[in-house]
Chain A
Amino acid sequence: MEVVTTKIEVTANMPATKNEIAMQLKDVSVAFSGRTAVRDVTFDVEEKKVTSLIGPSGSGKTTLLRALNRLHDLTKGAVVEGQILLGDTDVYNDKLPTTLLRSRIGMVFQRPNPFPTMSIYDNVVSGLRFNGIKKKSLLDEAVESSLIAAALWDSVKGRLKNGGTTLSGGEQQRLCIARALAVEPEILLMDEPTSSLDPISTKAIEDLMGELKNRVTIVIVTHNMQQAARVSDNCAFLLMGDDRAGELIEFAETTKIFNNPSDSRTLDYIQGRFG
């Protein structure tokens, strides 16, 4: 199995603190009705970088990701402990309404989920409208800018009034990315965004991520290790512990995780010995 990617020379003296931190996780645990799904995860999400979460099924990657924008609030019996900071804002404890928090943290899901009754245009601006923005010029601007950023503008600019679900699967996912970008979030969470797509659409979205990180900090969950190696700057490896709760085994720069991991379990995983 070919796993090792292009080696990037890392300057040993470069101070890691030089980069701005967009989001901090401190001892984050998530439990559902008393059963712990993820335990004590601590790492920093660097601004304008791609951070990937990898690990086998059941290691809690998606659970952790959904804790970041409080999507677990929907689930009865879900409890998040520890601290998650978005800039200086404590995601769980400050009196920030979840709606405002979520407009600062966008999300792209496993399967493309454009709103089926809305046109392409309406899909892109839906987040803005949800947040009370009605000014036509602002909406028009957002549509063009987000669709360009999602590499979809050229193919849909002539049919913005068509239904969002008339697009192909890969295009729908890019529409969902544009929809998330239109709100200009600080963070973009991506939950296995290419798992339901064909290889060509997958490549298009991977290429896109490289450009998007100039605009937004990305946290991506992926099952595909090559994808993590290709697109991410930093990488968190999670594994299910003995009590079936996910734990963070190692967090480091992606090149280190894939070339010289500190933990033998990380090495086993990236070499395909399990998971």
Chain B
Amino acid sequence: MTNLLTQLPPDPIYDRRKQIQERAAATIKRRTFLSRTYIATLMGCFILALIPLGSVIYALINKGIAAISWTFLTALPTQPNLVQQDAIGGIGNAILGTIVIDLLAGLVAVPIGVLLGLYLSEATSRIANTLRAVTEIMTGLPSILLGVFAYEYVVLPMKQFSGLAGVVALGVLMVPVIAKSSEISFRGVPSTLREAGLALGARDSKIAKSVTLPVAAPGVITGVLLSLARAMGETAPILLVVGASGVWDFNPLHPMSALPLLTYNYSGSQYPSQRVAAWGVALALVTMILILSLTARIVSARMRREKR
């Protein structure tokens, strides 16, 4: 091949091509090595990042599983004493308390958050822009602040700790998160669908209800479930306002028990049995959050599939 080419008049493109190919061949080993080094470094970073997460989960399962039993999950708590140091009872009312507070907060926050998200996705006025900025800032509020807020405006006037105060704190915490995630889902609805609705003579509100909302539903629902999961694990506001309860009482106006609260109280206990139980409580809480997150994924995947 070389012989044939040398007989031809010099071709600038051929020369350049030859140069490029020679250079590429000469450096291939070095480039392959570099590429592998990069990948190895990235893998290293990935593993490094997994170590703390992995150890936490390992400790959680390792220590928590010992505390878990049917009685532990369903019974009421009992207070250990010097005679019966292992009498810790169960966390049944705390599990239900957590669920009740979370659901009530969701009941209030979901409609407000979703509608706010819809408004933010459609409106372009100055008010809307301000509201958008406020929402963004509110997603970053330290949750303890909402605990203090609920303490000041719910616990003090009612003169007692209550599930309701927890609902208020978590509700306010959830609204901006839901609004933000819904806004993103609503913005993802193709503008061509909106135009199709308009061209048929639909009012904006009709389009929002019949087109935008159903199309965005998988994303909105995922966002709602994830914010429920996040609120479930919030400890600071709960710690401050729901009080404590050792009975089956889910009247939101009364003090309630909740898993994050119990984890906090037990882990600092003087009784070793309660300190072990703290891991069990945490494991139960993480499992519930995991279930919510997985549900969010499954629901959105299924709804997306059905649409096709």
Tell whether A99 is near chain B: CB-to-CB under 8 Å.
Answer: yes
Q: B201 contacts A165, CB within 8 Å?
A: no
Known contacts A116-B215, A116-B307; is-contact A103 B201 (Cβ 8 Å): yes
A208 to chain B, nearest CB (A): 19
Question: Complex Cα distance A76/B196, Å?
Answer: 19
Q: B201 contacts A99, CB within 8 Å?
A: yes
Cβ contacts under 8 Å, B197 to chain A: 115, 126, 130
Q: For chain B, give the interface size range.
A: 20 to 34
Q: B190 contacts A165, CB within 8 Å?
A: no
Question: Complex Cα distance A165/B308, Å?
Answer: 6
Q: B202 contacts A127, CB within 8 Å?
A: yes
The listed residue (A69, A109, A183) touching B192 by CB distance below 8 A is: A109
The listed residue (A103, A111, A117) touching B200 by CB distance below 8 A is: A103
Tell me which of B124, B190, B206 has the highest count of chain A C-beta atoms within 10 A of its own C-beta: B206
Question: Complex Cα distance A180/B201, Å?
Answer: 10
Tell whether B214 is near chain A: CB-to-CB under 8 Å.
Answer: yes
The listed residue (A76, A109, A129) touching B124 by CB distance below 8 A is: A76
Tell whether B16 is near chain A: CB-to-CB under 8 Å.
Answer: no
Closest to A165 in B: B308
- From 96 to 141 in chain A, residues with beta carbon under 8 angstroms from any chain B beta carbon are 98-107, 109, 111, 113, 115-118, 126-127, 129-131
Cβ contacts under 8 Å, A61 to chain B: none
Q: A113 contacts B307, CB within 8 Å?
A: no
Tell whether B203 is near chain A: CB-to-CB under 8 Å.
Answer: yes
Tell whether B210 is near chain A: CB-to-CB under 8 Å.
Answer: yes
Tell whether A200 is near chain B: CB-to-CB under 8 Å.
Answer: no
Q: A129 contacts B210, CB within 8 Å?
A: yes
Question: Complex Cα distance A113/B191, Å?
Answer: 10
Cβ contacts under 8 Å, B214 to chain A: 115, 117-118
Q: How many residues of A contact B (CB 8 A)?
A: 34
Known contacts A116-B307, A165-B308; is-contact A99 B196 (Cβ 8 Å): no
A131 to chain B, nearest CB (A): 5
Cβ contacts under 8 Å, A113 to chain B: 190, 192-193, 195-196
Cβ contacts under 8 Å, B96 to chain A: none
Known contacts A113-B196, A176-B196; is-contact A130 B307 (Cβ 8 Å): no
Tell whether A179 is near chain B: CB-to-CB under 8 Å.
Answer: yes
Question: Complex Cα distance A99/B204, Å?
Answer: 9
Q: A74 contacts B215, CB within 8 Å?
A: no
Known contacts A76-B124, A117-B215, A165-B308; is-contact A102 B196 (Cβ 8 Å): no
The listed residue (B198, B199, B211, B308) touching A115 by CB distance below 8 A is: B211
19 A-B residue pairs with Cβ-Cβ distance under 8 Å, sorted by A, are A74-B198, A99-B202, A102-B199, A103-B201, A109-B199, A113-B196, A115-B214, A117-B214, A117-B217, A118-B210, A118-B214, A126-B197, A126-B202, A127-B201, A127-B202, A130-B200, A130-B201, A130-B207, A131-B202
4 residue pairs, one from A and one from B, having the closest CB atoms = A103-B201, A127-B200, A130-B202, A107-B199
Can you add 5 more A-B contacts, CB < 8 Å, to A74-B195, A109-B199, A130-B201?
Answer: A99-B201, A103-B201, A127-B200, A130-B210, A189-B199
